């Protein structure tokens, strides 16, 4: 009974180790990490373009205001020109000249405002496409997180089953044997408990000396021994 239980204990420990390794190294986890990085990069870009758009919009309003101020001045000058207040030819000429140059300035400000508006539109459309890309990443992240949770739950169920089996297997062998096995396992891993194949310890890389083979053979078939060459637990 102990022989089988010890083998089973080792098999389940190896299984638990494999499940742990699988849980930690889930492929979706590295994909998720990459997606989260991508999400951050998108957000940084969205914020940067958003800030540029605010700056451009402020510029557009400033040029519109400047154009408005000049337009008001032109209106006042035009009103003065036709009011009859200004009589002298030179003064009239000067006023006309000022109206013409103000008109040029107004056009200049209006052109700058339009330029800024076009720039703002371009930035807005960039934000739209960046947001669409980020929504795509958000979606992928959601799917990955669900997949990870589902897989983790599956692994946990298997792990729990293996742990229950391990407890049962340990209960069927002796405390001393379990303790010995556990103290050797860090060094030998999944080959701590090995078989005697009739002429050799199956864990040994070297050939078993004839005397040791004899000793093994003389033991009862359900014996649990230690290989004198490697120290592993050998099931006779």
Least Å from the CB of residue 33 to Zn ion: 43
Q: Which residues contact 179 (CB under 8 A, 6 or more apart)?
A: none
> Which is nearer to Zn ion, 89 or 210 (by Cβ)?
210
Q: Which residues pair with 225 in a beta bridge?
A: 234
Range list of β-strands (E), 125-192 = none
Least Å from the CB of residue 202 to Zn ion: 8
Residue-wise burial string across 75-98, b where 16 or more C-beta atoms lie within 10 A, e elsewhere:
eebeebeeeeebeeeeeeeebeee
Phi, psi of 207, deg, nearest 5 = -75, 140
> Which is nearer to Zn ion, 70 or 216 (by Cβ)?
216
Candidate segments 79-87, 119-127, 167-175, 219-227, binder of Zn ion by CB under 5 A: 219-227
> Which is nearer to Zn ion, 92 or 207 (by Cβ)?
207
Residue from 81, 180, 229, 236 touching Zn ion (CB under 5 A): that is: 229
Q: Does residue 224 touch Zn ion according to CB under 5 A?
A: no
> Which is nearer to Zn ion, 12 or 227 (by Cβ)?
227
Query: What gap in Å lies between CA 74 and CA 100, rounded to an integer?
Result: 9
Q: Which residues contact 145 (CB under 8 A, 6 or more apart)?
A: 32
* Residue that has been written with the tokens 């930035």 in this structure: 123
Are 216 and 196 a contacting pair, CB within 8 Å? yes
> Which is nearer to Zn ion, 60 or 192 (by Cβ)?
192
Candidate segments 70-78, 92-100, 173-181, 226-234, binder of Zn ion by CB under 5 A: 226-234
* Residue that has been written with the tokens 């957000």 in this structure: 43
Least Å from the CB of residue 186 to Zn ion: 17
> Which is nearer to Zn ion, 32 or 230 (by Cβ)?
230
Least Å from the CB of residue 138 to Zn ion: 56
Residues 157-216 contacting Zn ion, CB under 5 A: 201, 203-204
Name the residues that contact Zn ion, by CB under 5 A: 201, 203-204, 227, 229-230, 232
């Amino acid at each position: 009974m102990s022989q089988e239980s010890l083998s089973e204990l080792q098999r389940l420990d190896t299984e638990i180790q494999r499940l742990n390794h699988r849980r930690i190294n889930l492929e979706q986890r590295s994909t998720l990490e990459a997606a989260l990085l991508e999400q951050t990069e998108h957000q940084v870009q969205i914020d940067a373009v958003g800030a540029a758009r605010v700056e451009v919009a402020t510029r557009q309003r400033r040029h519109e205001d400047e154009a408005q101020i000049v337009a008001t001045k032109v209106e006042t000058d035009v009103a003065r020109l036709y009011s009859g207040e200004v009589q002298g030819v030179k003064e009239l000429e000067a006023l006309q000249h000022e109206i013409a140059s103000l008109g040029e300035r107004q056009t200049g400000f209006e052109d700058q405002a339009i330029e800024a508006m076009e720039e703002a539109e371009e930035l807005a459309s960039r934000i739209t496409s960046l947001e669409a890309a980020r929504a795509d990443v958000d979606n992928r992240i959601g799917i990955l997180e669900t997949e990870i949770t589902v897989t983790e739950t599956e692994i946990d169920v298997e792990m729990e089953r293996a742990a229950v089996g391990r407890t049962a297997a340990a209960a069927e062998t002796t405390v001393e044997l379990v303790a010995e096995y556990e103290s050797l396992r860090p060094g030998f891993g999944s080959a701590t408990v090995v078989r005697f194949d009739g002429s050799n310890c199956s864990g040994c890389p070297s050939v078993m000396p004839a005397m040791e083979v004899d000793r093994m053979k003389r033991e009862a078939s359900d014996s649990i021994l230690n290989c004198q060459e490697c120290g592993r637990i050998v099931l006779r």
